[in-house]
Amino acid sequence: MVHVRKAESVYLGVALLAFRMQSVLPFMLIGGPIFYGSWHMVMTGYMQHLGLAENVLDHRLNSRTVYVNPISRFIYWNMNFHVEHHMFPMVPYHALPELHERIKHDLPPAHASILSAYREIIPAIVKQFRNPDWFVKRALPPSAKPYRPEFHGDLEPGQPTPGIGGYDAAGIATAAE
């Protein structure tokens, strides 16, 4: 007797149903979405944090907001407003565009498109292969108040991320006072 796992038996059942119906519709509903939708999940998922600072408490520095087309916004449930999502996690996904409009004066500029985001991400990844401590420094507008000034002050791209790479957290706190 051959041991068949649950997932394999589901796909076998879908294949038999598709053959019996003489239709690809069962595959369009079960199994197909993983095949034809995974690329979008990966593309939008990587946009969220790649190349940005790590181990910082200010989500404006470790997340990015990207303006995307309406179809991607629907599929992605407005998570392209990712800074806003991290800053206010209890705001429902359908209210993220309105939240963005209300607080965008206090956020780093949003990327105009997916292509714009990847134009920042790809060079950052290349630099991080050579120097793992390198990151893209998000610029806050002049009117924005830093959450923790020690994470915004003289820190330039290429310096170690605060909290790792030789930074002394106690030393940072005393230097900021």
pLDDT score at 161: 45
pLDDT digits (tens), the chain, 177 positions: 456 688 888 889 999 999 999 999 999 999 888 888 899 999 999 999 999 999 888 899 999 999 999 999 999 999 999 999 999 999 999 999 999 999 999 999 999 999 999 999 999 999 999 999 899 988 888 888 766 555 555 545 444 444 443 333 334 333 333
N- to C-terminal Cα distance for the chain? 72
What is the CA 26 to chain-centroid distance, rounded? 32
Say whether pTM exceeds 0.85: no
- Return the beta strands (E) in 18-169 as ranges: none
Q: Tokens 């985001």 sit at which residue? A: 117
DSSP 72-83: HHHHTTTTTBHH
pLDDT score at 4: 62
3-state secondary structure (DSSP) of residue 136: strand
pLDDT score at 7: 81
pLDDT digits (tens, 9 = 90+) for 90-105: 999 999 999 999 999 9
Contacts of 4 (CB under 8 A, 6+ apart): 12
- Running DSSP on this structure, what letter comes out for residue 63? -
Tokens standing for 23? 């239709």
For the chain, give every domain's residue range. 1-30, 37-176
